[in-house]
Amino acid sequence: MLTVKIYFDNEVRRVSLEEDLKTFQDLASLIKTLVKRYNKSWQIKYYDEERDLVTIASDLELAEALKISRQISNNILRIHLYEVKKSVPKDNALVKFSETVKREVEEFFVELSKKEPLEKIQQFINSLFEKKEVEPSVAMLPPPELNCPPEMVPEMLDEVPPVSFSPPPYPSPIEGAASVPLKKIDVSLTKERPSARFLTDVTVRPGTEFRMGERFVKIWRFRNEGVAPWPVGTKFSYVRGNPFYLQESVDVPALNPMEECDIQVPMVAPNEPGRYYSSWRLYHDNLRFGPRVGCDIVVTETQPLPETPESDPSGVIQQLVDMGFTDVELIQNLLTAYSNDVSRVLGHLLSSA
């Protein structure tokens, strides 16, 4: 049994035959039965075993197509129809219009030659096709060349030849104003510049309340999002604001790219009620990097609670260590930051585990 599938436009027709198609005429008759618009100008094609699109136009080519269909597609002959578009003849009306225009132009010049000398008419015709020289306007002039002082050119561009430029004589907006000399750019500052991203306030959220004179530890979390480690000797230092710190700067580890760290600064609430804020930033030598972060607190009039001795007589630290939280220093800082509120310390440890 032979199955014939016919593809044309966006349609597919399928029919099963008890016997093979004998002649090309049989195939054309079958297509005509299934596709009413088909006519002899259409092309009949199929894909062979090499995925080439082959035309069927004779009995011999049909026999080859049937042979290949048995070999590669389980006796299914897939026919693709292509309608051949006829070339559109020239518009007779347009041709007639062109001839009319040509004839009227000829008649115009014949009449003109009766009134004007032929030489003058020839000069007029030539003037229509002459290339006239156009004076360049301001918009057509090339842009002025750029004057870049040699000291402003990075080392990588030293090979560029110097160019000159004379600026237009525009008056200074301020009478007697002097020009400011350009400073040399330190290109080395742009090479592997440290980068940091602030992630969260580990302790002391903005607006946290403290009693007058109460000590606490502020902790910020950062990540190195640069391509190079933070340089050895990096510090985290006070920038401006209310100086209620116990240390003006603290050392920071040489963090590798995409690593995180918690930066801790011991602080003490001022002895006057009110709202206080100080800003801090990472720096190495004279280079500051990363965002500027702050500590924002509210000091109340109440006196601070007595501090828990470092010996941990109540056993809170040991209990937390027994629960699996082995960072004793972090536990002590959290107890100080949360005014010995064990439930808040435990909640913080669980949320960051």
List, by residue range, all CATH 3.10.20.90 domains of the chain. Answer: 2-82
Q: For residue 327, is pLDDT > 70?
A: yes
**Out of 48-62, 68-82, 91-105, 179-193, which region has the weakest mean confidence (pLDDT)?**
179-193
At 154, which amino acid appears?
Answer: P
Q: Mention every residue, 6+ apart, whose C-beta is less than 8 A from residue 285.
A: 233
Q: What is the pLDDT of residue 171?
A: 46
Tell me the C-alpha distance between 2 and 66, whole Å. 9
Average pLDDT over every residue of 164-173: 47
Q: What is the pLDDT of residue 129?
A: 66
pLDDT band of 309, cuts 50, 70, 90? very low
CA distances from 5 to 11, 21, 55, 110, 255 (A): 10, 13, 16, 69, 68
pLDDT band of 138, cuts 50, 70, 90? very low
In the structure encoding, which two tokens stand for residue 277, read together?
A: 């804020």
Pick the residue with more confidence: 351 or 272? 272
* HSE, side-chain direction, 13 A CA sphere, residue 111: 6
Average pLDDT over every residue of 241-267: 93
Pick the residue with more confidence: 144 or 233? 233
Does residue 136 sit in helix, strand or coil? coil
Q: For residue 157, is pLDDT > 60?
A: no
Tell me the C-alpha distance between 95 and 44, whole Å. 37
High-pLDDT (> 90) share of the chain, %: 34
Q: What is the pLDDT of residue 119?
A: 74
List, by residue range, all CATH 2.60.40.10 domains of the chain. Answer: 197-300
Q: What is the pLDDT of residues 110-127, one digit of tens each?
A: 777 777 777 777 777 777
Average pLDDT over every residue of 173-195: 54
**Out of 214-228, 239-253, 296-310, which region has the weakest mean confidence (pLDDT)?**
296-310
CA distances from 291 to 223, 229, 281, 294 (A): 11, 17, 7, 10
At 323, which amino acid appears?
Answer: M
In the structure encoding, which two tokens stand for residue 82, read together?
A: 């292509």
pLDDT band of 92, cuts 50, 70, 90? low
CATH of domain 197-300: 2.60.40.10
In the structure encoding, which two tokens stand for residue 54, read together?
A: 């082959």
In the structure encoding, which two tokens stand for residue 321, read together?
A: 């260590």
Q: For residue 268, is pLDDT > 80?
A: yes
Architecture of domain 2-82: Roll (3.10)
Nearest to 276 by CA among 258, 257, 295, 293: 295
Q: Mention every residue, 6+ apart, whose C-beta is less than 8 A from residue 284.
A: 194, 230, 231, 233, 234, 235
Q: What is the pLDDT of residue 182?
A: 47
At 163, which amino acid appears?
Answer: V
Average pLDDT over every residue of 318-331: 80
Please provide residue 344's backbone torsions phi and psi, each rounded to the nearest 5 degrees: -70, -40
Pick the residue with more confidence: 105 or 287? 287
Average pLDDT over every residue of 176-203: 66
Q: For residue 144, is pLDDT > 60?
A: no
Nearest to 59 by CA among 49, 70, 44, 73: 44
**CB neighbours of residue 215 within 10 Å:** 15
Q: For residue 135, is pLDDT > 60?
A: no
Helix 59-72 with 24-34: angle, nearest 10 deg: 70
Average pLDDT over every residue of 153-159: 43
Average pLDDT over every residue of 89-102: 68
Q: Are 79 and 8 within 8 A, CB to CB? A: no
Pick the residue with more confidence: 67 or 188? 67
Q: What is the pLDDT of residue 347?
A: 78
pLDDT band of 179, cuts 50, 70, 90? very low
pLDDT band of 190, cuts 50, 70, 90? very low
Pick the residue with more confidence: 113 or 257? 257
Tell me the C-alpha distance between 289 and 280, whole Å. 11
